Structure 1
């Protein structure tokens, strides 16, 4: 429980981007409507539009490379 949490790679200081389409979120954290996925030990964020488009693959726990 005392482990350091890795934060996503950011395109600029204080920005989070969608790993699928590249859209940049406002602010320094991902909005609550975005999905966070850990793939191969790396944390990735997906925007609301990409999440909705690929929800079945996400729920099926398929890696984003597949969809």
Structure 2
């Protein structure tokens, strides 16, 4: 691959990257993506993430598909 092609395929660093945070306790993830142990839920068209600790605490309600307002 020549230098010009490398330059075009390189992605610029994102300064506006959103940090993933737990919807319940506010714990922030270490990266832009949620860790594999976190749970992603879609409520009212929005993605909400739950950290491992909150997910373990509310796993029965999550598996029952109860709305988060109930728990």
Q: Say yes or no: TM over 0.5.
A: yes
Structure 1's unaligned 5+ residue stretches are 1-11
After TM superposition, the score normalised by the length of structure 1 is: 0.77
Greater helix share, structure number: 2
Q: Distance in 1 between matches of 2:35 and 2:19?
A: 11
Per the TM alignment, residue 14 of structure 1 is displaced from its structure 2 partner at its CA by 4.2
Matches within 5 A, 1:4-15: 13-15=17-19
Over the residues paired in the alignment, what is the CA RMSD in angstroms? 1.3
After TM superposition, the score normalised by the length of structure 2 is: 0.73
Pick the aligned partner of 1:27 from 27, 31, 40. Answer: 31
Q: Distance in 2 between matches of 1:60 and 1:18?
A: 20
Q: Distance in 2 between matches of 1:31 and 1:65?
A: 24
Structure 2's unaligned 5+ residue stretches are 1-15
Aligned length, in residue pairs:
56
CA deviations over 1:39-65 (Å, ceiling 9, x no partner): 111110000000000000000001112
